[in-house]
Structure 1
Amino acid sequence: MEIERINENTVKFFLSYNDIEERGFTREEVWYNRDKSEELFWEMMDEINEEAEFEVDGPLWIQVHAMNKGIEVTVTRAQTSEDGELEESPFSGDDSKKPFRPNIEVLDDSEENATIGPGGTMEWLENTFYFKEFEEVIMLSSRVKEYNVTTSLHSLEDIFYLHVLYDAPDMDDMQKTDLYSVITEFGTASNVTIHRLEEYGNVIMESDVFTQTDSFFGTP
């Protein structure tokens, strides 16, 4: 595990999937088993407290950034106003490190069994993938037309970027994982945000990337 102390209230750590397995957890448990993911998190916080002297003494803002080889987690002590209300998340807005998989929530260790966020779980919201050749997008589109997601296709510096927004209310994490697995057979998960693509890239398809691509370029 790699630990970086950002400032007095913020610490960041990277945990590879090998690190996770060496600690007795699986990748699936981290994403789908709430008790296991919280157990791993608190183990990491104990280790971080020993190495970086980052003590947990109240609510926390947590940013989880999924990567190809592991997860990057940024933890910030939540600040409160004079009336005791939590201030807004430090990760909001167009932060280039805003997570593409789980939503940002508050974690409070004041209770024996800590919960993540007002909804109790982390929510996997979106992903961006890149493709070196448009042919890879064509091959992918014939495989994933049935998934109900919002998509857009962009180009930036001669690379194709697919943005996927999991906004279907009936789509669970298992379905998202299935789609993620299929897409990464052809493309690669990217840290480039949709905000950067919209500002600096070119829009190739604003929506329905899979359906449009397969309709125009797929095999009859």
Structure 2
Amino acid sequence: MEIERINDNTVKFYISYLDVEERGFSRDEIWFNRDKSEELFWEMMDEVNEEADFVMEGPLWIQVQAMEKGLEVTVTRAQLTKDGQKLDLPDDIEERRKMFASEDTETAEFDEFEPVFDEPEVKKLEYTFVFSEVEELLPIARRLIYVPIESSVYHFENKYYLHTSFDEVLHSEEDIKNNVSIISEYLRSSPVTIHRLEEYGNPVFKEDALANILHYFG
């Protein structure tokens, strides 16, 4: 993790998705699981405190930017006091949550605490390919075995169709282009939409099509 001290009250740090996974978290967890995202955040802040001497006192303003290969986080602490004393941040995560609750609330509910990472607006890019035999997908499945692609296969009007979906959080523009190029080496693109396939076609694999191809034909 890379740490940059901006000023006395602001620190910026960058953490790669690889580092996130090595810490025991997945990308989906940090975006969509509030408990996990908060756990990761405080773990990173403890490291920031040690390396950049950034003492966490009082409420924090947090800005998170999703980068191609990781997250850039900017944290600014508010200079607030309570009863004339600075607010020290406790070690227990539940106690930390209470600091952000109303002073009139004896026990803070989790809903009082805003999620550390706001859920991103995910744009999905979809592609459909047509082919004659299911086995034609096998070399594609082998080459893309470690690529997280949403995929499904339908049989429609005597042909098979592979529908793939990518999102901009997990895939860069270059990654999507490269993966589509690999598929295009074996299959022809098709204008048939997933909605038409779902309505009129017969599903072979509704999800995880490439993984299932490897399982049953590999």
TM-score, with length taken from structure 2:
0.45
- Structure index of larger Rg: 2
TM-score normalized with structure 1 length: 0.44
